[in-house]
Amino acid sequence: MEVFTSISALRIFLDKCRATNQQIGLVPTMGALHDGHVSLVKAAREQVQIVVCSIFINPIQFNNKEDLDKYPRTLDQDCEALERAGCSAVFAPSADEMYSTPPELKMHFGNLETVMEGASRPGHFNGVGIVVSRLFNIVQPHYAYFGQKDLQQVAVINRLVRDLAFSLQLVACPTLRETDGLAMSSRNARLNADERALAPFIYQVLTEAKKQLLNGCEISRVIDFAKEQFGTKDAFKLDYFEAADATTLQPIRQLGSEGTNAICAAVYLGAVRLIDNIVF
Ligand code: PAF
pLDDT at 226: 98
Q: At 42, is the pLDDT very low, low, confident or very high (cuts 50, 70, 90)?
A: very high
Ligand 1 site-directed mutation target among 113, 128, 161, most atoms within 8 Å of CB: 128
Q: At 93, is the pLDDT very low, low, confident or very high (cuts 50, 70, 90)?
A: very high
37 part of the active site = yes
pLDDT at 149: 98
Q: Is the CB of 151 under 6 A from ligand 1?
A: no
pLDDT at 181: 98
pLDDT at 218: 98
Nearest CA to ligand 1 atom 1: 29
40 CA to centre of ligand 1 in angstroms = 13
Distant-in-sequence contacts of 156-162, Cβ < 8 A, 24+ apart = 156/109, 156/112, 156/113, 156/125, 156/128, 156/129, 157/128, 157/129, 157/132, 159/109, 159/110, 159/112, 160/107, 160/109, 160/129, 160/132, 160/133
* DSSP, residue by residue, 67-128: HHHHS---HHHHHHHHHHHT--EEE---HHHHTSS--------GGGGSSHHHHHSTTHHHHH
Q: At 223, is the pLDDT very low, low, confident or very high (cuts 50, 70, 90)?
A: very high
Bridge partners, 266 (sequence order):
240, 275
Nearest CA to ligand 1 atom 8: 29
The CA distance from 73 to 77, in Å, is 9
pLDDT at 216: 98
Nearest CA to ligand 1 atom 6: 29
Please state the rounded mean pLDDT for residues 11-37. Answer: 98
Q: What is the pTM of this model?
A: 0.97
Nearest atom within ligand 1 for CA of residue 54 = 8
The CA distance from 129 to 155, in Å, is 11
pLDDT at 113: 94
156 CA to centre of ligand 1 in angstroms = 12
The CA distance from 158 to 136, in Å, is 13
Dihedrals phi, psi of 6, to nearest 5 degrees: -110, 140
Q: At 40, is the pLDDT very low, low, confident or very high (cuts 50, 70, 90)?
A: very high
